[in-house]
Amino acid sequence: MDPSSHHTGSQLGKYELLEKLATGGMAEVYLAREHGIAGMERLVVIKRILPHLAEIQDFVDMFLREGRIIARLNHPNIVQIYELGSTPDKQYFLALEYIPGVTLRELQVLASKHDLEFPEEVVLEIGMQTAAGLEAAHKLEDLDTGHPLGLVHRDVTPHNLMCMSSGLVKLLDFGIAKATQGGSEATFSGDLKGKFSYMSPEQALQKPLDARSDIFSLGIVLWESLTGRRLFKRDSQLEMLQAISKGDVPSPALWRKDLHPKTVEAIMKSLAKEPADRYQSASEFHQALKQAAEAKSHYTLADATSSLVDQIAKKRLSEQSRAINAAKAKKSLSPSQRHRLLHETSSASYAGLDEEAATIVDRPEPTNPSFGARPYTPPETDTDALLPDMEEAPTVIPSGTTEKPSKIKPIAIISMALALAAIIAFVAFQDKLTHKTYSRPAVTLGWAPIVNPDVLRKEMEPLHTHLSDTLDREVKFEVSDSYEQLANQLRSGEIEFAMLPPLLYVQTSEKDPRIKALAVKEFDGAMTSDGLLLTRSGIKPGDLEAIKGKKFCLTDRNSTTGNFLPRAYLRDQGVDPNEWMGEIIWSGDHLQLLKDLGDGVCDVGATHSGAFISADKQGISVSKLRTFAITGQVPQDVLCASPDVPVQESQEIMKALTDLKPKEAFGQDYLGNTQRITGFVPASEDMYQQLRKAFKTEVATK
């Protein structure tokens, strides 16, 4: 079985893999079907460790630890695991409960779009159910000693709470849970984990944690749901941590005069700066929320949540259902359908990018006063590109062999003649394709030198041929010598279109606002990439002093993940990157950087998760490399048009890309071993707002 298969009904044990939903830095996620006895079946989510990481014991241990923890948590308000398994060829996987519904973050955004305040009873109900799930997790005992593990979730956020149409709420993603009391399942990392804007003060200050930290995080979630505002969201991680550590929390009643006093009291007590002043257990918090609901006389179990989901998320759930049915029927899903499944099942939270990484459903946040974050949902395309599969060229056997010819029978001569005629016809057909004439003038699509130009050309030639045939005009291929040159070529009109890395798009559009983002490429089903700081084994993740003055491998001065994000990350940690980075080695492209780091040319390297994933396909070993930090999350490369290109022509090429399905167009699940393109989605300016803000901050500090 091809581990990278997106769709074909491949088997993993007793599970039929229906559709790959995403690939993270550690694992890939599939929608799958479990076949049981007497024709029984159920949908599951399969999370499988990436094949090239299966030999790295640290990754395997982290993966299995999460599985063991979830497997022992049997509660209706916690996602269920059906199996933690492996195959003889070391494919480690988790089979998890498939959860139809919407995340609380989606519900918040949908309420905002409908101009609805979040009903108080819904917030109370979600809080009660989440507290019940947390109580079960906090009480989990060590199997050997019977003593409490002191499990702390550490990532209680709206993204990790799934709201089902039945009204049931489930807590997801125990990937960074921490057992604080020792035992066989304990974790000993003191690293800062979780989403910064939902941390407790003690978590932000890296102090010892217990159940009261999760209570604080849940308090943030409920406060934001009631007010429609972000409590601790700031421009930088450092500012967020400072705001949390100060513990200055305004009352939600300042924005909601209708709240019952008991509701306000419960929320504010959960958000007390000192753990001793909060509820001492999740069950205490649950009881306080229940009393508030009863006092308001609207305690109706899960009815309130069910009604809200039905009221504002019916369309989403209907779209999700259609995508599921298409996957079950083994139809190829469009990129937007895959993202819809990924988003609304919150399967993204299983992707295991890194313990510090935000889930692949987070999107850059616009300056919107309502909830701050407005996830981007790509629009559906109405048409599908139905192109024949590409044929493989026949093998050409070199002449000059010294083998003696054997006697050939007449029928063999006829067969050979027919075969030769077929080859001649095929070559003529290929020559015709190569010299095909189009009715419209040629255009050029430029690429940045993100990998070796020869490799990039070989991988992207099928895409250019497809675009040429679809648009009835030759779409020429060109790789610029540098990122800066590509931007200048696009702005001047020397080339009509360019695939710009995210920072280069932001920089270019700042200089010329006429440059617009058209379509974002998918990397193995993901619209975003995680910036990574990598080191060779032996350096503790997050230990800034350990990398001070070390040799750094970077890619290009205008690279997003290969230069900009690592510098921004170091500044967020309160240090000057120019002082912290020692000698800088400019590797040129991301794969060369990984090779340089592996060969010991440098001690620290900055790249992105996609390069790390595809390195093994290029024969580059990453087994000795370790993730030091996640430096940020950014969109994938984006197609842009030169200012002088007519709008209609821009829309034509955008549609040709967003209609593209590699399986139907090229007979393969993705295009290119380094680019791994699974499709394109329409771009949204919302996707770049955080990066644009960071870029302006960077410019202002110089």
Task: Name the residue among 700, 654, 239 with its Cα closest to residue 510.
Answer: 700
**Residue 636 token pair:** 């994938």
621, 436 Cβ separation under 8 angstroms: no
- Distance CA(161)–CA(224), nearest Å, equals 14
User: By 3-state DSSP, what share of the chain in percent is helix, strand and coil, each rounded to 5?
Assistant: 40, 15, 40
The tokens 């250019």 sit on which residue? 464
Q: Are 156 and 198 in contact, with CB atoms under 8 Å apart?
A: yes
Cα 191 to Cα 630: distance, rounded to the nearest angstrom: 12
CA of 504: how far to CAs of 388, 453, 509, in Å? Answer: 35, 18, 8
Q: Residue 698 in 3-state DSSP?
A: helix
Bridge partners of 35, per DSSP, are 41
Do residues 697 and 235 touch, judged by C-beta distance below 8 A?
yes
Rounded CA gap, 137 and 410, in Å? 78
Count how many residues are written for the chain: 702
Residues with Cβ within 8 Å of 322's Cβ and at least 6 positions away in sequence, in order, are 337
155 is known as an active-site residue: yes
- Give residue 82's Cα distance to chain centre: 24
Tokens of 77: 């308000």
Contacts of 135 (CB under 8 A, 6+ apart): 281, 282, 283, 286
CA distance 679 to 656: 10
Amino acid at 478: E
**How many Å separate Cα 542 from the centre of its chain?**
21
CA distance 385 to 383: 7
Residue 400 token pair: 């000059």
Q: Of the residues 2, 155, 454, 530, which is catalytic?
A: 155
Tell me the C-alpha distance between 636 and 675, whole Å: 10
Calpha distance 446→522 (Å, rounded): 18
Q: Could you tell me the two tokens for 472?
A: 């009835």
Residue of 151, 162, 295, 166 whose CA lies nearest to 214? 151
At 193, which amino acid appears?
K
Which residues are within 8 A (CB) of 538 and not within 5 positions of it... i.e. 6 or more apart?
Answer: none
CA dihedral 177→183→185→191, nearest 10 degrees, is 40
Q: What are phi and psi of 540, to 5 degrees?
A: -70, 130
- Where in the sequence numbering do the catalytic residues fall? 155
